[in-house]
A and B are shown apart, each in its own frame.
Chain A
Amino acid sequence: MVPFVSEATQAQLQDGSFQFLAIFLEGIPFIFLGTLVSGFLGTFLPRNAFERFLPKNRTAAVLVSGLLGAIFPVCECAVVPVIRRLVRNGLPASCALAYMLAAPIFNPVTAISTYKAFNDSWFMAGSRLGLGYLIAIIVALVMAKVAHSKYIKASELEHAHDHEHPRTLSAAMNNSLKDLMDVGVYFAIGVTLTALLKTTLIDPTTDFWKSLAENSLAGTPAMMGLAFILSLCSTSDAFIAANIANFREAPKLAFMVFGPMMDAKLIFLYSTVFRWKFIIGLLLALFLLTGAFSLFVEFSLAKIWEPKIP
């Protein structure tokens, strides 16, 4: 018991601690995996190796990069340290952006989990993967027109030079440790914030949240806000979306597309690579694009496909 603290606050402290540890235990192994991969890629991958297999044409390169998640599936926690190193190793920033945004959604694990969560619905699984890819490509192609120094952090650009790094195990381990520490800090901040919000401001059992289910125009942004705060893993968030009762296609789709691209922990992870101004812009762009496309799917395509919503 904490003296001078109300019973409700003590309960929130207990619940916040419980949820912090749950997300920490779940996420850190994958953050580690990402930083291990990033450390070894950064050390052993020849600079500009991607130039060899990505199309020379920038648009085609972005389109292909958005599909790489199908071959190299990664969750949203692991992808950030990986693209950070890839950018340093010469992967064009727009291609990295396409991979970073699309891979957590456009991959076989997410496809299967979404398909199963929505009672074997190809419509929901297809819509989710399609929207994830489409939005990632749109953002990446727009950013391809912008000098990457405008949105990549200066420290990252400085490393994106033709340095002669030693290719040794020791160097790889050193790079992995650096990445783990850099990303781990932002992960801890994000998880703390998520646990704090989940135990204070956000309560999906209130009448306010329930009333949103009746109107997709209001429910869609609300569900994106919920996805932002819940910071769930993209491989399993479909089960949550499917079980949030009474919402229709657009809010559920928006929840599953927006969350893996932008959430409370990711915003801090992104700040290891990108400038804050860009991250805020990205948040707004993803919010608008995901909301608009999700509503389009509900009001047009869903009527044709008649999906099953559990």
Chain B
Amino acid sequence: MTTIETRLFGLLATIWGGVLIYFYASLRVNKYLAENFHLFVLVGGIGICILGVYSMISPKDKTSETHSCHGHDHHDHDAHDHDHSHSHCDHDHSGHETCQHDHDHDHDHGESCDGHHHHDEGHGLATTYLLTLVPLIIAMTFTKDRFSDLGLARQGAYEAPPESRAPFTREDLEKNVPKNAQGEFQLSLVNAYYAGGDKELHDVLDGLPVEIQGRLMPEKVNNQDGMRRRIFRTFISCCAADATVAGVSLLFDTPTPDPPNQTWVKAHGKLTFEEHQGRSYTVVKVSSLEAAEEPYSEFIQRNR
């Protein structure tokens, strides 16, 4: 790399690092990554910035990549019998992994060794800028820090819960789930979702007064009369790209109320279950809906 290339690559690294620090400092990182990755973003951002700034200030160690071409002795463990014909210098190259002996031979790289030949490495300045910055700029322009309704559907928002035992019982609920002032269980949406897949629990939990918090989205399952909305939460392991969305149907007495999609709400009502096209779903018969504060992280992290 020439001095100017090193400086410009250093600038590019500083931009990358700056993006990481910006996402961390603005708390936008909460919308993208699980909490245990946040510190990596900060530390990585600072580290990349240090590397970038250092490279801009001290752009070239003139000798860092010079090659001593005089009498290389290549003990590459893998010596083999072949002749490379190097036009000017005598190397002892070994490129095979089976025999183990050293020998001298020439390479033909068509370059002069006394000028310290360098094969073209990397992708060039313009290509590197183009291939890394363009997608980054496009992504930062078009992201809304969340999935679209189409994206939520692809991540499973309308999928029925797996048919398996729910990870709790009625007794667990009574013991562990707090109640609000109205005596409703402040049930997590995740538990409500999984209860739908455990038919043994349906009778036990049917009619349970609950308060459930999540984000609103349109309902597409069993909603011919337009009396339903859906409430969802997102699970992740590391980042939004591995997200799974769990959704529960909200059934209203009247055509669905005003809060726009993606609004955080608390739904109050009775838990119930229904069959649709052979699959069991959780439904909350809503008595009231209120706006809720957005949690620090909208993600629920899968158990580690």
Interface residues of chain B, those whose CB is within 8 Å of chain A, are: 1, 6, 9-10, 12-13, 16, 20, 23, 29, 32-33, 37, 40-41, 43-45, 47-48, 51-52, 54-55, 58, 60-61, 63-68, 72-78, 80, 82, 91, 93, 95-98, 109, 117, 119-123, 127-128, 131-132, 135-136, 138-151, 153-154, 156, 158-159, 162, 164, 235, 237-242, 244, 302-304
The secondary-structure label for the interface of chain A is: helix
Is A306 at the interface (CB under 8 A from chain B)? no
Whether A17 and B143, one on each chain, are in contact in the complex, defined by CB atoms closer than 8 angstroms, is yes
- Select which of B45, B54, B238, B303 is within 8 A of A116 by beta carbon: B303
CB of A82, distance to nearest CB on chain B (Å): 16
Whether B74 and A161, one on each chain, are in contact in the complex, defined by CB atoms closer than 8 angstroms, is yes
Which residues of A108-147 are within 8 A (CB) of B?
113, 116-117, 143-147
Whether B150 and A230, one on each chain, are in contact in the complex, defined by CB atoms closer than 8 angstroms, is no
Q: Which residues of A lie under 8 Å from residue B78 when comparing CB positions?
A: 92-93, 147-148
Q: Which residues of B lie under 8 Å from residue A155 when comparing CB positions?
A: 119-121
Is A29 at the interface (CB under 8 A from chain B)? yes
Is A211 at the interface (CB under 8 A from chain B)? no
- Select which of B40, B45, B240 is within 8 A of A22 by beta carbon: B240
Q: Which residues of B lie under 8 Å from residue A30 when comparing CB positions?
A: 40, 44
Closest to A176 in B: B51
CB of B65, distance to nearest CB on chain A (Å): 7
Is A180 at the interface (CB under 8 A from chain B)? yes
Q: How big is chain A's contact interface, by range?
A: 35 or more
Interface residues of chain A, those whose CB is within 8 Å of chain B, are: 2, 8, 10-26, 28-30, 32-33, 36, 43, 48, 51, 58, 90, 92-94, 113, 116-117, 143-149, 154-155, 157-158, 160-166, 168, 170-171, 173-178, 180-182, 184-185, 188-189, 191-192, 194-195, 198-199, 203-205, 230, 232-233, 235-237, 239-240, 243, 245-246, 310
Q: Which residues of B lie under 8 Å from residue A94 when comparing CB positions?
A: 97
On whether A180 and B48 interact (CB within 8 A), knowing A92-B78, A154-B119, the answer reads yes
In the bound complex, CA of A182 to CA of B121 (Å): 8
**Lowest 4 A-B CB distances belong to which pairs?**
A29-B44, A15-B151, A11-B148, A171-B64
**A19, A92, A113, A246: residue with the most chain B Cβ atoms closer than 10 Å:** A19
On whether A177 and B6 interact (CB within 8 A), knowing A17-B140, A25-B33, A161-B72, the answer reads yes
Whether B97 and A158, one on each chain, are in contact in the complex, defined by CB atoms closer than 8 angstroms, is no
On whether A178 and B96 interact (CB within 8 A), knowing A28-B48, A185-B132, the answer reads no
- Select which of B97, B138, B139, B148 is within 8 A of A92 by beta carbon: B97
In the bound complex, CA of A195 to CA of B136 (Å): 12
Q: Other than the known A30-B44, A188-B135, what 14 A-B pairs have Cβ atoms closer than 8 Å? A: A10-B148, A12-B150, A18-B144, A21-B32, A25-B239, A26-B33, A144-B97, A158-B117, A161-B67, A162-B68, A177-B6, A177-B51, A191-B135, A232-B242
- Select which of B52, B97, B140 is within 8 A of A147 by beta carbon: B97
Whether A181 and B122, one on each chain, are in contact in the complex, defined by CB atoms closer than 8 angstroms, is yes
CB of B51, distance to nearest CB on chain A (Å): 6
Q: Which residues of A lie under 8 Å from residue B135 when comparing CB positions?
A: 20, 188, 191-192
Whether A17 and B141, one on each chain, are in contact in the complex, defined by CB atoms closer than 8 angstroms, is yes
Whether B48 and A230, one on each chain, are in contact in the complex, defined by CB atoms closer than 8 angstroms, is no
Whether A185 and B242, one on each chain, are in contact in the complex, defined by CB atoms closer than 8 angstroms, is no
Q: Which residues of A lie under 8 Å from residue B97 when comparing CB positions?
A: 58, 92-94, 143-148
On whether A11 and B302 interact (CB within 8 A), knowing A17-B141, A162-B74, A180-B48, the answer reads no
Whether B119 and A174, one on each chain, are in contact in the complex, defined by CB atoms closer than 8 angstroms, is no
